[in-house]
Amino acid sequence: MPEPIYQRILLKLSGEALMGQQGLGIDPSVVSTIALELKDVKALGVEIGVVIGGGNIFRGLSASARGMERVSADYMGMLATVINALALEDFLERNHVSTRVLTAIKMEQLAEPFIRRRAIRHLKKGRIVIFAGGTGNPYFTTDTAAALRAIEIEADAIIKGTKVNGVYESDPKINPDAKMFKQLNYIDVVKKRLKVMDSTAVTLCMENNLPIVVFNLKIKNNLKRLILGEPIGTKVCEAQND
């Protein structure tokens, strides 16, 4: 079997990835599938951190647009990410995968507070570490939290799981002929306003030369194949030949 091309990754999942075909909430079968995919990748010796959004439960920005005070709405969104993190932790532990949830907001009865050295120690001990609560600050998305945590734990790449095969020039659901990019540089993502991650997250990755790989999470074994070096999804990096 080929060797993994990444030794430590940060997997970014949207909250919507956990709800399956439901309009809201958490679909246990979907979470179970994700847990099994992570177990397979961990068996390769890869150290895994995870950041999950909370959009399947509550989205702060949209609530703010409907009249709720932005800071309160964002904190509610952070709590939603904790719920999702605990759900994923439960399914990982059921599959005998040692897991820790670390939160940016202290809630010791549920999870450990985020401490960088502690997170790295958990990773080195072979535990999957789920980072919840975003950055702990309002006005920042979980995309930015993923970039920040990936840099802090010195991950080799951010792996972003989506419902499509990669990054397209336009929405492939609206335009079936939309071209998918195999590789992009950070500047192009920002200039073209491509929906990879928000501009703050992309800028953080650019300044720290941290690659972003966008792939389809819904295809079975896609994550494992990507980690083993198959040309899956879209890679965003410093230069076109990186």
- Supply the pLDDT for residue 60: 67
Could you list the pLDDT tens digit for every one of the 242 residues in the chain?
789 999 999 999 998 889 877 778 899 999 999 999 999 999 999 999 999 999 888 876 677 767 888 899 999 999 999 999 999 999 999 999 999 999 999 999 999 999 999 999 999 999 999 999 999 999 999 999 999 999 999 999 999 999 889 999 888 888 888 899 999 999 999 888 888 899 999 999 999 999 999 999 999 999 999 999 999 999 999 865 44
- Supply the pLDDT for residue 102: 98
HSE, side-chain direction, 13 A CA sphere, residue 139: 0
- Supply the pLDDT for residue 123: 98
State the SS3 of 68-82.
CCHHHHHHHHHHHHH
* CA-wise closest residue to 53 among 93, 75, 26, 85: 85
- Supply the pLDDT for residue 176: 85
Cα dist from 206 to 19, 81, 118, 155, 212, whole Å: 31, 25, 26, 14, 10
What does the chain come to in residues? Answer: 242
pTM (2 decimals)?
0.92
The one-letter code for the residue type at 171 is: D
Where does the chain show beta strands of DSSP type E?
A: 8-13, 47-52, 99-103, 112-113, 128-132, 157-162, 167-168, 180-181, 183-185, 212-216, 234-237
Structural domains in the chain plus CATH codes: 8-197+204-232 (3.40.1160.10)
CA angle 141, 138, 151 (to 5 degrees): 50
- Supply the pLDDT for residue 240: 55
- Supply the pLDDT for residue 242: 45
